Structure 1
Amino acid sequence: SSFDVRSYGAKGDGVTNDAGAFQTAWNATCKVNGGVMIVPSGYTFLLQPITLNGNYCQSKVVVQIDGKIVAPNKPQWSKIDLQLILFSGMGKGITIQGNGGTIDGRGDSWWSAGGNRPHALRIVDSSNVTVTGIKVLNAPRMHVFIDNSQYVHIFNVTVSSPGNSPNTDGIHLTHAQHVEIYSSNIACGDDCISIQTGSQDVKIHNVDCGPGHGYSIGGLSANKTESQVSDISIYDSTVSNALNGVRIKTWPDGNGFVRNVTYSNIKMKDVSMPINIDQHYCGGPHTCPTTSTNAVAISGVSYWGITGTYTHIPVSLDCSKYKPCRGLTFSSINLTPSASGNIPKGYPFCSNAYGRVLTSTTPPLDKCLVSEAYDQATAPTPAMAPNQGRTQALLWGAAAPARNVFGLFFN
């Protein structure tokens, strides 16, 4: 059965608040197994923040977005909610699909204001989630936020906001398991895809990212919290005109782990730092704490077939003295200076990074990594405290001295 929001009073004139009509249509849709709520093409529906609760829904509910949904401009929001559209408690499955339908967060009135900003589309406490065939534009903050949900498929989705729109992650995962994201285009002002604590078994492939900050795990474990991320695969994808390519970022003095991560066949174009591990991340150009003695443990990270061009430094592995990065593997890495502009040749930076190089690489990494067989007890002490964040300096311009870099090559 189909339930058109216009049949429940939605005007679709872009001026009238249609949230009440959407809620009524949703309540009717929810009562029917396989019910379809239709947001028709040819109309613009203005929504104040709305929560579509699925706790009493039948299974396999569908929301068909073919028209345009727009948020109010910032001064017209009825309340400063956490998101424009929230799907909650969809334990029996939810499909959000469209034929080019859009959700426009009108974030330009928020980006310069700072402070708390709402997300565009958030799905929480749900299972068997599909999002496909829609565009999410100009979110005040996150575009698509998946929270505490399992068995999620996102494909044929377009995310678009300017490269200078702050904190506008494309797809943000937290406590999300068994997720697949593919065949999508993401352009934003922060991480194209952000993977946060509690995320496990995530596959990302055939995704084009840029502009943005690349594919990121973290930042994890702010305020000395514990994080766990594992079994992440990102492959057959691209990054262009971005701050980072593939990045793992953790705050000093946190706990937990990141493990079993594979990056393969990823093409970079004009990326500031294509490969980046930063265990001294402090949320941008901020000073890291000076007393940190702990870190999130990073292990079992593999890089295969990472190729393309960089605009700053090709590889930075800034790992913790207290919990060094372990089990790093590199093969078929070919990163060269960008042809656009006068980009000097960059050299890899490694600190407390243990691993192996399986093939010749550009830039050479064999003398940058520390061999797994190397005895850490005999390794030289870094020239600076590990919480001062050389990667922060590279990206944000803060003054920080270089560290000693040591390593062995083995066959």
Structure 2
Amino acid sequence: MNEAPIRDRAFHLSHPVTDERLRLRRAWPRDEGHLLLEWETPHGEPVPGQWFADPARLNRAAAATEGAVPLPEEGVLLQPDGADRRLPALHGLVARADARLIAHRPERRAVVRTAEGYAKVVRPERVADLVSRCERAARYADGAFTVPELIRAEDSGVTLWSALPGEPLHELSRATRVGDPLLAWYRAGAALAALHAVPADGGGGVGPGAHTPADERAAVLRWLGPARRFGLLPDVDPEPALAPLFEADAARIGPVHRDCYDKQFVADPADERIGLLDMDTLTTGEPALDAANVLVHIALRRAQGRLTPGRAEAFRSAFLSGLRPDRETHERIPAYAAAARLRLAGVYAFRPRWRRLARDLMNEALRSSPAAARP
């Protein structure tokens, strides 16, 4: 399979307007012949695009995307300044004087910082579901944590949300003093415990849209499969490491964030409550799903050199002290942690800077499984 958009020709490009050198930051696989891509300028600004193995698909996307710049030799469609055929409101929003593009996953979603708050841009048909999940999260918070407030929702696909005061835990954890981050990590655990303690929809049962162990396995394979096909990770069998997901019967089910990690928590010194972001992934599932994802990300920050071993262990302990997982959740964390490592191995394999780390994550997840071949 052609790996050019990941390793070679499209790794560096020139911005079609400013002629700045662009460096490939990350990719999202869609199918064997299609990737969503994000480059960054020397100033760290995102420049999204897509790669198509089929020139005809590239030409069709280019013709339908006003403002996009096709680069046929690379198989790439650059989409600067909010150009996007599936997010029709994005270009006009990005063009505003007070707007700054934070993230843009082509044809899927984007986040734009404005003077009013943060605008999330999704496909118009996704607005109702996004608003519904976030409104449910606000009810679940019930004073135990804070979430962004909806300012307005537009049929065009734009939803505007208030900015939470404070600093993301991802940044606060790197501060010189360890005291404030320790307290914030404790509060993060307590906030997650409060979310998990809310009775699940439907009287405690698995409601519509619940995230099951089978869904977690599928999420892992959605990333691992393409990473292996593109030759970015070794072609080894992940199933032995995923098998423990299915070893528990009648596990406790409750509300879960489903994408919970250090960048989703916001700590404000003036407020004892922690803030939680991106509640549009809210569903029901096992509390161990969220707990494991947070703990694996703490270990990931250590592996990235962003936390010392001592700080990583201190934050892990503070988080667990606030979370206070019950015995059942504690016993299920290792199964979900193995799945999280495998999923993140796939995610980070598509980030050129962290490809070696991706292999380490895969090795760690497989290490406890004697049936899996060691790469």
TM-score, normalisation: structure 1: 0.26
- Name the larger-Rg structure: 1
More helix by share: 2
More strand by share: 1
TM-score, normalisation: structure 2: 0.28
